[in-house]
Amino acid sequence: MNAFTSSVHLVYLACAACFVLGLHLMNAPATARRGNQLSAAGMAAAVATTVAVLARDHEITAFAVAALAVGVAGGTIAGLLTARRVKMTDMPQLVSLFNAVGGGAAALIALGDAVEHAGSLARLPLQTTLTIVLDVVIGGVTFSGSLIASGKLAGLVPGRPILMRGGRTVNILLALVVATLAGMFLTGHSSISGLAVITVAALGIGVLMTLPIGGADMPVVISLLNAFTGTAVAMAGFVLGSTPLIIAGALVGAAGAILTKLMADAMNRSIGAIIAGGFGTGDDATPVSGAGATGPVREITVDDAAIQLAYAAKVVIVPGYGLAAAQAQHEVVALAQALTERGVDVSYGIHPVAGRMPGHMNVLLAEANAPYTELKDLEEINPEFARTDVVLVVGANDVTNPAARRPGNAVSGMPILDVDKAKSVIVIKRSLGHGYAGIDNELYTDPKTAMLFSDAKAGLSALLAGLAAYATR
């Protein structure tokens, strides 16, 4: 190994170290931005080093340089524009879209490599053909699956579960096609056309896998697809013998796997059941159809609620999926700021699945200028409810249902926010409709709970106005 090759390897190693340290710095909001910048610096170094390698080897053709340059320029502009312009509420679909193109690029690397070896495919070692097939399959499923997920999140594809008759049969058939052709590919009967069919079948599986999954399950799905992309990139690394791809792919695979597990646990659902699909609702949830709590429910007027909040010493706001769907994050933060100015201790209790992707609610509130020190996760906030005067629940349902502590119902065992331990509770909700689990929320019939029937955005604005009117009185 000459000096040049050795230095290239060492730079790649340093880049990988930047990725790991960058992720490590993400363990606190204060250092996270620096972590991302370190990771970006590592990426820039990896790209620059690869340019140097290409320039030195002189093997690359002028056409390849042109294709690379045009592609990179187009992709960079697209990435820049979308990343700069995206609204924070639209973050889940953008992350999904970037995930799709990443998976697609990984699959294309394997395809491209196979195309260049078209004449000698049968002579490739098993490790190369195996990783080519794995890369094409995982990358293909991720690409089409993430595009559908992104479309669902953006409302371009209906968010409700789309169940087609025979959809599962088609999926099994496609899987059989992939398995058969992959078997042939690995045993020396390899052809480009076979690989092309595998690609198309993988794309089909991705679509059919994501369509039946409901909008509320999206946090799990995009985490899972993220893990897939990581794996696909690692496989591309195996195909090309490129260590940075293997390391980065494994890191992302681990991140996706952890988030998938966390999200599925927080929703009290198994990953298998989510993939099987058919559950979950679209964004415009809150079914009103006759379903409702059975016990007596106490209603509260906006003015009374505002006075109750103004007189409290400690208020915890519990924002849920409904708040994200109604895009009322600015209103809720404005209300919290008004209360803080009156000397009320305000914090936010955020359930892991509040929002449309892991941690989405925190980003929405941070954008609306809520200090991150007030954003508390489940473990942090639960012990505090006993000392809380008023909990304001906005657009959250199942995650506050005390029935979860008892066995034998749809939410049993689900990690919940112990809202009912507080001295009093105000729930802003449009109706007594069921949440995602489809059962009555016992919180609503609790004597210390008062219901403020309103849309999240309108209700919060009314509370803020009520508070202002009361304060000037």
Partner 1 sequence: MSPLLLADITVFTLSLLVGFEVISKVPATLHTPLMSGANAIHGVVIVGVMVLAASTTTLAGYLLLLVAAAFAAMNVVGGYIVTDRMLAMFHTRAAVRS
Query: What are the residue numbers of the active site?
Result: 398
* Comparison of 248 and 302: residue with beta carbon closer to partner 1: 248
Interacting residues with partner 1 between 60 and 79 (CB under 8 A): 60-61, 63-65, 67-68, 70-76, 78-79
Residue 172 to residues 146, 167, 212, 278, 405, Cα–Cα distance (Å):
20, 9, 15, 17, 38
390 binds partner 1 (CB under 8 A): no
Q: Which stretch binds partner 1 (CB under 8 A): 156-164, 228-236, 404-412, 415-423?
A: 228-236
Cα distance between residue 261 and residue 227, in whole Å: 11
Q: Does 236 help bind partner 1 (rule: CB under 8 A)? A: yes
Judged by CB under 8 A, does residue 7 bind partner 1?
Answer: no
Total chain residues near partner 1 (CB under 8 A): 120
Residues 370-389 that bind partner 1 (CB under 8 A): 370-375, 377-378
Task: Round to whole Å and give the CA distance between 436 and 217.
Answer: 10
CB atoms within 10 A of CB 408: 6
Site for partner 1 in 19-38 (CB under 8 A): 19-20, 22-24, 26-30, 32-33, 35-37
Residue 277: CB minimum distance to partner 1, A = 22
The residue range among 18-26, 295-303, 436-444, 457-465 that interacts with partner 1, by the rule CB under 8 A, is 18-26
Q: Does 108 bind partner 1 (CB under 8 A)?
A: yes
In DSSP terms, 346 is beta-bridged to: 315
- Of 161-180, binders to partner 1 (CB under 8 A) are none
At 355, list the tokens. 């929002």
CB atoms inside a 10 Å sphere around CB 1: 7
> Which 353-372 residues touch partner 1, going by CB under 8 A?
355, 357-360, 362-363, 366-367, 369-372
Judged by CB under 8 A, the residue of 1, 125, 165, 296 near partner 1 is 125
Asked whether position 94 contacts partner 1 by CB under 8 A, the answer is yes
Enumerate residues 259-278 that contact partner 1 by CB under 8 A: 259, 262
Which C-beta is closer to partner 1: that of 230 or that of 466? 230
3-state secondary structure at position 317: strand
Q: Name residues contacting partner 1, limited to 290-349 (CB under 8 A).
A: none
* Side chain identity at residue 413, one-letter code: G
Distance of CA 415 to the CA centre of its chain: 19
DSSP readout, 144-175?
A: HHHHHHHHHHHTSS-SS----TTHHHHHHHHH
For CA atoms 428, 432, 438, 443, give the dihedral sign.
positive
Minimum distance, C-beta of residue 76 to partner 1, in the bound complex (Å): 5
Identify which of residues 84 and 473 has a Cβ nearer to partner 1 in the complex.
Answer: 84
Q: What binding mask, one character per residue, do residues 42-61 give for partner 1 by CB under 8 A, x or -?
A: -x--xx--xx--x--x-xxx
- For partner 1, the closer of residues 8 and 458 by Cβ is 8
Closer residue to partner 1 in complex, CB, 360/457: 360
Give how far Cα 4 sits from Cα of 54, 57, 260, Å.
Answer: 12, 11, 41
Query: For residue 314, what are the β-bridge partners?
Result: 345
- Residues pairing with 139 in the sheet: none
Block residue for tokens 């914090």: 347
Interface with partner 1 (CB under 8 A), residue from 194, 230, 349, 459: 230
- C-alpha to C-alpha distance for 232 and 322, rounded to whole angstroms: 34
Q: Does 109 engage in binding with partner 1 (CB under 8 A)? A: yes
| Lookup: tokens for 2 | 């000459």
Binding mask 439-468 for partner 1 (x = CB under 8 A): ------------------------------
Q: What's the first-to-final CA gap in the chain, in angstroms?
A: 82
- Please, what is the minimum distance in Å from the beta carbon of residue 114 to partner 1? 10
In this complex, which beta carbon is closest to partner 1, that of residue 98 or of residue 453? 98
For partner 1, give the closer residue by CB, 259 or 437. Answer: 259
Quickly list DSSP for 430-463.
SSS---TT-S--GGGGSTTEEEEES-HHHHHHHH
Q: For 354, which DSSP code?
A: S
Does 140 engage in binding with partner 1 (CB under 8 A)? no
**Which residue type does 380 have?**
E
What is the three-class DSSP state of 100? helix
